Chains A and B, each alone.
Chain A
Amino acid sequence: MMLRVKHGPPQPSSHSRTQGRNQTRPLLGSMFVRRLLVLAGLSTIIIAALGAQLTRLTVFEGEDHRDTAERRLDRVKFLPTYRGRILDRHGRVLAEDRAGYDIAFEYEFLSGAWAARRATQEARASVGPSRWGELSAAEREALIGAALPAAEAQAQWLLDVVARLIDVDGAELDHRVDEIKKRVHARAVSVWDRQREIERSRHADGEERFTPRSIQEHREAHGVAQGVPDVVAFECQRLADEYPGTVEVEEATRRVYPASRLEVELDRSRLPRTIRKTTSVKFVIDGVADHVLGELREKVWPSDLKARPFLDASTGKVVDLGGYRPGIDRVGARGIEASQERLLRGVRGMEQTRLDTGQVLRTEPQPGQDVALTIDIELQAMVHAILTPRFGLMKVQPWQVPNESEESERFAAIGSELYGAAVVIEVDTGEILAAVSMPTVFHGREMDGPQIAASHPFVNRPFEAPYPPGSILKPVIYLGAVSAGVMRRDVRIECNGHYLPNDPTRLRCWIYRERTGFSTHSARIGGPLDVVEAIARSCNIFFYSAATRLGGTRLVAWLGQFGIGTPLDCGLLATIPDENDRMQTVGEHGGFLPSEPGTLAMNEVAQMGIGQGPVAWTPVQAANAFATIARGGVTRDATLIRAVGSGARGGEAASQSTEHAFERAGPRPDLPLDPAAVSLALQGLRDSVNSDHGTGGRLRYENNESDPIIDTENLLVWGKTGTVQAPPGPDHAWFVGLVSPATEGRPRYAVAVIVEGGRSGGRGAGPVCNQIIHAMRRLGYLPNMNTAAPPARSDSAAKDRDE
């Protein structure tokens, strides 16, 4: 103890404060108290900082935290739904969801984590929970290690049992498991790389800070067998219940296309005589209507999520039960699956269980709507078979390459495959009964790179591939000139081989060439040609004249009225993002028309008159144009969609939904076609097919034999051939026909065929059209050759067939 003694006289003033100890001294004079205040102040400041943080959490972020906490009180289960079916015109199912079971293993089971957990449980059970709590980490590790081999053996036993159940041998299952592990590991590495990159870009030392954490695939189950029978699924479910965390039985719906593979029998007795056979041939067709139906993709794209999100990105709440969930949903990738995605897609259901009250709120799932197409799948399959090279018509045949020196030197390749398209439309309704594109997607999948580049199998030719029309445009040109009043309908025009009087080298008629001795049509018939002759003989001069009289502007406008330049919107239009993520409309092509018709030169206009030059259209547009002519100008655009929704089963018609990039002002108006002119044009088309001089009349062989191109027994057939120059390759062959039973006066069906490289319309495409007409006879659309009775099958009968 140290006692201080103050030496010297006391100083009253400075010590006055120490007097009167019973009065409370001003405490602040005391250093101790000041120190206390410092401590008090320090703690107050700290608590104030804590208070600020608490205020931040409760007041400013309170809502968010409350939402997060409340959300954990909800257990949400989503109820699956079905995608709508796609049906053909008779109600046959072309695409549908089929329920099934997949067998999957949890990744933790495959990686060994399940065995480790099992060993932990065993070790803990062996010493008892209270003792377990007393052990240190090292001791626990030792016990777990001792129990591990037994757990791993059990895991292996489970794998063997499942392998037996799903009927694969052990090695195959091991192989599948290895595939899964490899895939997950690769995915994990890529995810971690990406995360590492993000970390590195965020912080300077991001590299060291990054620790890989488990990715979603590590927490999921992975399939080893799809579509197993119910019995197997039941057994596996028993295993799953007994050993949780190992095997999973997942309900999986698959999209199946039941009519994708069909068997077809084709009669060969009416083929061109060099390939004619008395026996019929059977085809097993794979990928029937695959261009039209399309397919689904497993990946959900950002554009899908943007268009129809399932969750709100910021709050994580469900906004649209019909929205897309990445990794789970399938989306239409092309064809009807893509263009009618909105209708076909179903809406999920939701079951919300409130954990504290036990309340359950259930929203029922809604399946997608069915879409009924106008396609008759049997006709489609038969046309498909007709277009396969194996049948014989889509191959370079000797009769296509007549024995002329110039041709046979350049392009002879007898037997090589030809590709093309065919469309069949019902005139009165505009419904497309068949639309085949060759090669199909199925065949495209079997091709290698160069073959794909050469043959473009994924292009849906009837709807997406524009070709110059060639001579088949001629009736349209004539009707345009007559409607514009620049030509009398009974006009006669001289064919002197070349349009320009003083220039025999340009704008020639096809007949004016060396091998015919520079013949002219007028020479052949002894005078100028009227439109009937001109169409039947396909004289170019007539139509050069008609086109130049119309002039570029009126001609282009007329063609636009006929539907060239904009897609017909048959039901295949879809908007998808391109590689730059800009939305584009695909699925159908509108053909080409010159954008500045006023600047066309005279010879370009003339060329357009015979369907060459800056004009192109798709096969469906060709058939549609001829159907329009057959209807006398009434516009009824070709369509693939017959009915939607519950109406799909009943067969009522429904309107299209067009939410696509291009907008039409409204349905196109009917065309002002002069009925008498139409009648003359149709006459010309009849003569083309039914007379010897018509370009569509007879198929001539080398030995001067010939066969009719179209067998017209019991039918009325109108047709037009077209040969389109397509340098540097061989010419394309067009044939468009109108056909009806002989008892009806008006065309009932329009058929358009294009054979790429078919060299001559009549020779290349004509026989194909003939076979299509035979197929239609066989299916009852048209009367057979030996009976004179009208067909039992009319459109209404077809509707009743499968009701």
Chain B
Amino acid sequence: MSRTGQQNPSAVPRLAASGEPSHPAAVAGRAPYTPASVLYTAKPLHRPRLMPLNGGVLCLLASAGLTLIGVIAIGTTEPDLARRQVVFALVAVVGAALATIPSPRHLRAIAWPLYGFTLILLVFVLIPAVPDVLVRPRNGSRRWINLGVVDFQPSELAKIAYILVLACWLRTREQHRNLLGLIPPFILCLIPMSLILVEPDLGTALLFVPGLFAVLIAAGARKRHIGAIVGCALIIAPLSYPVLEPHQRDRIDAMIAQIRGDDRYEQDIGFQGSRAMTLVGSGGIAGVGGEHAEALIRYNGLPEEHTDMIFAVICCRWGLLGGLTIWSLFLLYALGGLLIAAFSREPFSRLVAVGFTTLLIVQMIINTGMTIGLLPITGVTLPFISYGGSSLVVTWIMTGLLYGLGLRRGGYLVREQFEFDGAST
């Protein structure tokens, strides 16, 4: 039985920390409710006060720090690309500023249309009939839409859209407490995920799953359901090995061999992983400094040193301290996101905050994990730091959205959200 905000009728509760006066909606739970009170919950009665000093500030600080470190790290070996990254960063910051403008209500309004639009784009990218001018293939995979100046990746947009839609779906529902109620969120996740898998882009597709689970957990899905699903997945995952593409299997083989200390793949499929680990290790505690790092990276032949393997460059140049700094900044970002989630009153904001934070952190974990040899090599870049315009812009937009959500704490007095305690969890 959920607790309501209902108590002594004479005492009108102060429901919002921002000091909103009570209004008829405040006593909506008193029974019976009138349509009017329902209406009241549907739109704000006044503009809520903004909270400029919210968890999103931490996110912004962390993003700025990471972007700056990223520019310097890229500049270690590719100064031209670093200059371009600065340009991207400026565009991204502008985009983030714009992203703080919409309120949660606006976001909810565009969530489903955006989702649909993204799905159309994903399908569009896959249609073979589309000329190569629009969808430029790279290595046989079709992921990018050519917008003239830049290449735009629909899968990046899909990450944002599906989190928004998920948060919309779970915002006022309770069915996800049942096993069957988990099916719609899964379907919402699986549709874009499978389209992305077909591209093929396994790395990005894999990011969808932890986001889904994190949002479900935050939204109050029962632990035993989640546990059962994760358990089944862990059992099925090794069985999927034969279904993987050869190069994906190669990467898993290479990782296993590397962990065991077996160096037979070092010259071919394990090359990237082994070079990355060597460079990471050679940084020592404090790194070797910019110039020497450039020489080491160049002559050790590290591939993708400004995109996938940028963490290796950081650890080479700044050592263990550099790596720990990166992780600390990401943890700071996560702290900011979780603070937004904790303090926000709007259920939509809470879930979106959790979702975005999870996306970023998981991507960071996968990228740094593969650089230091604990995960197989995937094509996943490091957010904010890796070179890449579309990725940088999208992640800054996410940060802007988070700040916007944190700004508007909300205070709709429907009920306590997601407090299912008292029932068995």
Q: Is there contact, CB below 8 Å, between A57 and B277?
A: yes
Interface of A is mostly: helix
Q: Is B185 an interface residue (CB 8 A)?
A: no
Chain B min CB distance to A353 (Å): 11
Which residues of the other chain, A, contact B323 by a CB distance below 8 angstroms?
51, 54, 58
Which residues of the other chain, A, contact B335 by a CB distance below 8 angstroms?
40
Residue-wise interface mask of B (323-354) relative to A, using a CB-CB cutoff of 8 A (1 in contact, 0 not): 11001001100110010011000000010001
Q: Is there contact, CB below 8 Å, between B418 and A32?
A: yes
**With A2-B174, A10-B7, A134-B132 in contact, is A31–B418 under 8 Å at CB?**
yes
Chain B min CB distance to A203 (Å): 10
Among B3, B372, B417, point to the contact of A54 (Cβ < 8 A). B372
Which residues of the other chain, B, contact A49 by a CB distance below 8 angstroms?
374
Which residues of the other chain, A, contact B16 by a CB distance below 8 angstroms?
21-22
How long is the Cα–Cα vector from A46 to B366 in the complex, in angstroms? 11
Q: Is there contact, CB below 8 Å, between B338 and A36?
A: yes
Q: Is there contact, CB below 8 Å, between A58 and B218?
A: no
How long is the Cα–Cα vector from A57 to B373 in the complex, in angstroms? 10
Q: Is B369 an interface residue (CB 8 A)?
A: yes
Interface centre among B7, B277, B331, B350 (most CB of A within 10 A): B7
**With A31-B418, A36-B342, A355-B299 in contact, is A69–B282 under 8 Å at CB?**
yes
Q: Is B244 an interface residue (CB 8 A)?
A: no
Which residues of the other chain, A, contact B220 by a CB distance below 8 angstroms?
31-32, 35
Q: Is B320 an interface residue (CB 8 A)?
A: yes
How long is the Cα–Cα vector from A30 to B338 in the complex, in angstroms? 14
Which residues of the other chain, A, contact B319 by a CB distance below 8 angstroms?
58
State which residues 256-295 of B face A: CB under 8 Å.
Answer: 264, 277-285, 288, 292, 295
How long is the Cα–Cα vector from A40 to B420 in the complex, in angstroms? 20
Compute the total of residue contacts between A and B using a CB distance below 8 Å: 195
Chain A min CB distance to B238 (Å): 15
Please tell me the number of chain A residues within 8 Å of chain B, measured between CB atoms: 58
Residue of B at shortest CB range from A354? B295
Q: Is there contact, CB below 8 Å, between A69 and B361?
A: no
Q: Is B80 an interface residue (CB 8 A)?
A: no
Which residues of the other chain, B, contact A36 by a CB distance below 8 angstroms?
218, 338, 341-342, 354
Residue of A at shortest CB range from B373? A53
State which residues 395-425 of B face A: CB under 8 Å.
Answer: 414-421, 425
Among A2, A5, A66, A355, point to the contact of B284 (Cβ < 8 A). A66
How long is the Cα–Cα vector from A341 to B108 in the complex, in angstroms? 87
Which residues of the other chain, B, contact A51 by a CB distance below 8 angstroms?
323-324, 327
How long is the Cα–Cα vector from A1 to B342 in the complex, in angstroms? 22
Residue of B at shortest CB range from A75? B299
Among A18, A39, A69, A136, point to the contact of B217 (Cβ < 8 A). A39
Binds A, one of B56-64, B94-102, B137-145: B137-145
Q: Is B116 an interface residue (CB 8 A)?
A: no
Which residues of the other chain, B, contact A788 by a CB distance below 8 angstroms?
none
Among B4, B315, B368, point to the contact of A6 (Cβ < 8 A). B4
Binds A, one of B28-36, B70-78, B147-155, B190-198: B28-36
How long is the Cα–Cα vector from A500 to B28 in the complex, in angstroms? 145
Which residues of the other chain, B, contact A47 by a CB distance below 8 angstroms?
327, 330-331, 365
Q: Is A451 an interface residue (CB 8 A)?
A: no
Q: Is there contact, CB below 8 Å, between B295 and A73?
A: yes
Q: Is there contact, CB below 8 Å, between B6 and A10?
A: yes
Residue-wise interface mask of A (164-185) relative to B, using a CB-CB cutoff of 8 A (1 in contact, 0 not): 0000000000000000000000
Q: Is A59 an interface residue (CB 8 A)?
A: yes
Q: Is there contact, CB below 8 Å, between B338 and A50?
A: no
Q: Is there contact, CB below 8 Å, between A18 and B13?
A: yes
Chain B min CB distance to A124 (Å): 14
Q: Is there contact, CB below 8 Å, between A6 and B284?
A: no
**With A6-B1, A43-B361, A57-B277 in contact, is A136–B320 under 8 Å at CB?**
no
How long is the Cα–Cα vector from A58 to B324 in the complex, in angstroms? 12
Residue of B at shortest CB range from A137? B140
Q: Is there contact, CB below 8 Å, between B361 and A50?
A: no
Q: Is there contact, CB below 8 Å, between B284 and A58?
A: yes
How long is the Cα–Cα vector from A21 to B7 in the complex, in angstroms? 13
**With A1-B172, A50-B372, A72-B300 in contact, is A65–B281 under 8 Å at CB?**
yes
Among A33, A54, A69, point to the contact of B278 (Cβ < 8 A). A69
Q: Is A135 an interface residue (CB 8 A)?
A: yes
Among B14, B140, B324, B334, point to the contact of A20 (Cβ < 8 A). B14
Q: Is A44 an interface residue (CB 8 A)?
A: yes
Q: Is B114 an interface residue (CB 8 A)?
A: no
State which residues 261-277 of A face B: CB under 8 Å.
Answer: none
Chain B min CB distance to A202 (Å): 9
Which residues of the other chain, B, contact A66 by a CB distance below 8 angstroms?
281-282, 284, 288
**With A18-B3, A39-B358, A133-B139 in contact, is A32–B282 under 8 Å at CB?**
no
How long is the Cα–Cα vector from A49 to B369 in the complex, in angstroms? 10
Residue of B at shortest CB range from A131? B132
Which residues of the other chain, B, contact A2 by a CB distance below 8 angstroms?
172, 174
How long is the Cα–Cα vector from A46 to B368 in the complex, in angstroms? 11
Among A5, A43, A50, point to the contact of B368 (Cβ < 8 A). A50
Q: Is B225 an interface residue (CB 8 A)?
A: no
Which residues of the other chain, B, contact A72 by a CB distance below 8 angstroms?
296, 299-301
Binding site for A on B (CB under 8 A): 1-8, 11, 13-17, 19, 28-33, 38, 41, 132, 136-140, 172, 174, 214, 217-218, 220, 264, 277-285, 288, 292, 295-296, 298-301, 315, 319-320, 323-324, 327, 330-331, 334-335, 338, 341-342, 350, 354, 358, 361, 365, 368-369, 372-374, 414-421, 425
28 pairs of residues in contact across A and B, judged by CB atoms under 8 Å: A3-B29, A3-B414, A4-B4, A4-B415, A5-B4, A6-B1, A6-B3, A6-B6, A12-B7, A12-B8, A19-B7, A21-B17, A23-B17, A31-B220, A32-B220, A39-B217, A51-B327, A53-B374, A54-B315, A54-B323, A57-B277, A57-B280, A58-B285, A61-B281, A65-B281, A66-B282, A69-B278, A134-B137
Closest 3 pairs between A and B when the two form their complex, measured CB to CB: A65-B281, A136-B140, A356-B295
A32-B218, A36-B338 are known contacts; what are 13 more A-B pairs with Cβ within 8 Å?
A12-B8, A18-B7, A21-B13, A22-B19, A39-B338, A47-B327, A54-B320, A57-B315, A65-B279, A69-B300, A72-B296, A73-B295, A135-B140
Binding site for B on A (CB under 8 A): 1-6, 10, 12, 14-15, 18-24, 27, 30-33, 35-36, 38-40, 43-44, 46-47, 49-51, 53-55, 57-59, 61-62, 64-66, 68-70, 72-73, 133-137, 213, 355-356
